[in-house]
Amino acid sequence: MGVKGIPRAARAYIGCAVLGAGAAVLPALLPGAATPWSTVALLAGLYALCELPARCRLLGRATGGSVPVGTGSFFPVLLAAALLLPPAAAALTALPGSLLARVEEPPAAPRRAWRAAATALAVWAAASTAEALNCARVLGHGPDAPDFPYALLPAGGAALAFCLVLTALDGGIRATADGLPLRAAWHGLLGRALAPHAVHGLAGLMMAVLWRSTYGPVSALFVLLPIHISCWVFAQYHRERAAHQATIRALVQAVDIKDRYTRGHGERVGHASVLIARELGMAEDRLDVVRFAGILHDVGKLGVPTRILRKDGPLTPEERRIIELHPEYGHEIVRGIGFLGEARGAILHHHERMDGSGYPYGLRGDEIPECARMVAVADAFDAMTSTRSYSRARPVPTALAELERCAGSQFDATMVAALIRALDRHGWRPAVTADETPTAGPPAGNLPPPRGTGTPGRAPDPAEDTRSRRRA
């Protein structure tokens, strides 16, 4: 896509940002400006050097392929420039590195121009804020020690100004390029950026103090070592997380291909399970595991013959017993995937019932793992509220009433109550999970008829076919 593929409003917005950046750096270029070119060149070169490995594949491989791809990892260099230089000169230091930084999607030229302009304006705002807060005086110089804790004020102000300007500009480009409403374009940007930029501000202050000390600019380079190490750790974390997500996606796609009549069911069960967990105050570090449990709860279908899953007409007792093995098949499939943790127990036990009449082991009450009890409720709720080729969706209030009716005997009442509270706050959007529209004809097969159909205190088992209900 060329420049013509960028919406006109976005092109105008980028043009205004470039003009603004030009106006910001112009005073440093005028004759008699007394710009400290040696400092500008050192900081600009340092920032460009930090960003270069992400752009250059050869350098990226030389550093183990772990250099972070996105911009922002080395913003402390720019914030140090904002504390050390006049605003126009500080803005200049952002240009080479921003223009060299890697671009993930075309068109590259306008994206680089936008990034350079936005970063230069943010650095200019940070330097102007630091100058207004008498940064040069409190930072000290040579043998004069910095005036702590007062030096934290200009550093914090500079980091905040940098963050505000950058997020405001980013929200604007999202609104003009993607056509988002302004509120949606800016939503969440500032909250996600504040903490990282606060850390960048402290690192920039350390660089600036060392730069102005008797040890000189070379000592400031030592600050980059922990920055690079933190970037490496961060990149490793994201690489590992991406591998986890790829594993989950591959398993989910395999299940969806084999049982196309419940496509998307796993993702919705994962979402509903997380709603329950959040309502119960579960720690954030467990939420991913709960989501994985919901997404993969039916992965054992991969071990069930396709002819049984898609069989038309009633299942034989033998076929029913085979399908009831799917939780154990699922547990065997994921047993070696260490990052799933307690999700493996949920996959094995999500068809257990509170009264002990479930399968595969007939556990009862608190013997059933907590995560499995969450997934059981989420699974039944989605099965009842999703339109499939063989059954129409029930309204959400009807499904919730059914869950309440079966709470205590089939489902954990605490989990049911948590789901009801969560849906009161967040709502629910049921979806069609089959390619066909609902019809009154026979289903193309699924899982065995529920053992407790028509029995008080039992909701439909989401792993079981509903054709027996239609025959009745």
At 257, phi and psi to the nearest 5? -65, -40
Q: Which residue has the higher pLDDT, 72 or 105?
A: 105
What digits encode the pLDDT tens for the residues 28-78?
Answer: 999 988 899 999 999 999 888 877 765 444 444 444 444 444 445 688 899
Structure tokens at 343: 């999700």
Q: Which residue has the higher pLDDT, 394 or 430?
A: 394
pLDDT at 268 over 70: yes
Q: What is the pTM of this model?
A: 0.56
Residue type, 194: L
Q: How far are the Cα atoms of 3, 18, 21, 35, 81 from residue 113, in angstroms, in the given order?
A: 12, 7, 10, 24, 21
432 by DSSP, 3-state: which? strand
What digits encode the pLDDT tens for the residues 340-359?
Answer: 888 999 999 999 999 999 99
Task: Judge whether 211 and 189 are in contact, CB under 8 Å.
Answer: no
pLDDT at 81 over 90: yes
pLDDT at 460 over 90: no
Helix ranges (H only) for 337-447 are 343-349, 370-385, 396-406, 413-426
pLDDT at 230 over 80: no
Band the pLDDT of 251: cuts 50, 70, 90: confident
Q: How far are the Cα atoms of 59, 97, 170, 223 from residue 66, in angstroms, in the given order?
A: 10, 19, 26, 19
| End-to-end CA gap in the chain | 58
Q: What is the dihedral angle through the alpha carbons of 365, 366, 368, 373, rounded to the nearest 10 degrees?
A: 80
Residue type, 311: K
Cβ neighbours around 279 below 10 Å, total:
21
Half-sphere exposure of 386 (CA within 13 A, CB side): 27
Res 107: pLDDT: 81
Helix ranges (H only) for 221-316 are 224-258, 265-279, 284-295, 306-309
Res 243: pLDDT: 84
Look at residues 75, 154, 182 and name the one whose alpha carbon lies nearest to residue 119.
75
At 146, phi and psi to the nearest 5? -65, 150
What digits encode the pLDDT tens for the residues 142-175?
Answer: 677 788 888 899 999 999 999 999 999 999 998 9
Rg (CA), the chain: 29
80 CB contacts (<8 Å, ≥6 apart)? 43, 204, 205, 207, 208, 211, 220
What digits encode the pLDDT tens for the residues 398-418?
Answer: 999 999 999 999 999 999 999
Res 467: pLDDT: 36
pLDDT at 332 over 50: yes
Separation of alpha carbons 348 and 120, rounded Å: 55
